[in-house]
């Protein structure tokens, strides 16, 4: 296993789901971890406790990533605590499914603010801190960015934007030794999936050639791999983990 002792990773939206899995996986790889969250104090503290059991340091920082000042304050707090940041995992996001004629302005603005502006805010602040040392930025996208799913026009558009920003930022930041890549999961078994009716879950599974959902841990392992030296020469790429769904 690659030794990452004293390196620091910040994971947004890390109090549950894929973000939580990424935080724990990176801690297992030796990183100290910053848990960003927006509402659930108790869940964020639980993730910190799990990481500390692995022998790594963890802090929870509450910040709405769509708010630039909140993000600036978060990175300031990270710098005061650790004096460095080596990895940013842009994961915080929302899914507000709605067909075109049912989309409302509040939902549209919320999706654009968190899923796009939030990623830019965090990438910008991370890049400022990584300019002299280099680093890794991993954006969590979605298979919906390349696959049309009815009712996910807004979500798909935001994740398509994530793919585009990944490529552009990779080109801009490459001279600074900062790589920018993305992971695009398909149907992943998380708390969000638990709320979906069984008949709809069955339809989803039937659409996946592998015949099963992926796990948050599998996504986290892909993220951790992109953070390793094995992928130092890869940037601007989107890795799809969907069991063949998009084929």
> What pLDDT does residue 3 have?
63
> What pLDDT does residue 24 have?
98
> What total number of domains does the chain contain?
1
> What pLDDT does residue 245 have?
95
Indicate whether 129 belongs to any domain: yes
pLDDT along the chain (247 residues), means of 10: 81 97 98 97 98 98 98 98 98 93 95 98 98 97 93 95 98 98 95 80 91 96 97 98 95
Indicate whether 99 belongs to any domain: yes
Question: How far lies 191's CA from each of 17, 18, 57, 207, 216, in Å?
Answer: 7, 10, 26, 20, 10
Which residues neighbour 104 within 8 Å (Cβ) at sequence distance 6 or greater? 98
Indicate whether 246 belongs to any domain: no
Yes or no: say if 120 and 40 are a contact pair by the CB < 8 Å rule.
no
Active site members: 155
Which residues neighbour 53 within 8 Å (Cβ) at sequence distance 6 or greater? none
> What pLDDT does residue 69 have?
98
* CATH classification of the domain holding 168: 3.40.50.720
> What pLDDT does residue 1 have?
56
Tokens matching residue 161: 């934007």
> What pLDDT does residue 193 have?
79
For residue 16, what are the domain limits?
8-241
């Amino acid at each position: 296993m690659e030794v990452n002792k004293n390196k620091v990773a910040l994971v947004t939206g890390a109090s549950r789901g894929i973000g939580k899995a990424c935080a724990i996986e990176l801690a297992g790889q030796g990183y100290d971890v910053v848990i960003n969250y927006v509402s659930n104090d108790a869940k964020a503290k639980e993730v910190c406790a799990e990481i500390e059991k692995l022998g790594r340091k963890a802090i929870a920082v509450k910040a709405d990533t769509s708010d630039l000042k909140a993000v600036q304050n978060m990175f300031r707090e990270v710098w005061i605590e650790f004096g460095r940041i080596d990895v940013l995992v842009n994961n915080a996001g929302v899914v507000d499914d709605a067909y075109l004629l049912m989309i409302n302005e509040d939902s549209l603005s919320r999706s654009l603010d968190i899923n796009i502006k939030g990623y830019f805010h965090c990438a910008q602040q991370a890049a400022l801190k990584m300019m002299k040392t280099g680093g890794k930025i991993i954006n969590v996208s979605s298979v919906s960015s390349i696959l049309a799913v009815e009712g996910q026009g807004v979500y798909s558009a935001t994740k398509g934007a994530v793919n585009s920003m990944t490529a552009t930022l990779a080109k801009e930041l490459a001279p600074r030794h900062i790589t920018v890549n993305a992971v695009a999961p398909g149907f992943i078994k998380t708390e969000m999936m638990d709320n979906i009716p069984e008949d709809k879950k069955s339809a989803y599974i039937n659409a996946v050639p592998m015949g099963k959902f992926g796990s948050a841990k599998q996504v986290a392992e892909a993220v951790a791999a992109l953070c390793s030296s094995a992928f130092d020469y890869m940037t601007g790429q989107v890795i799809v983990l969907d069991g063949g769904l998009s084929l």
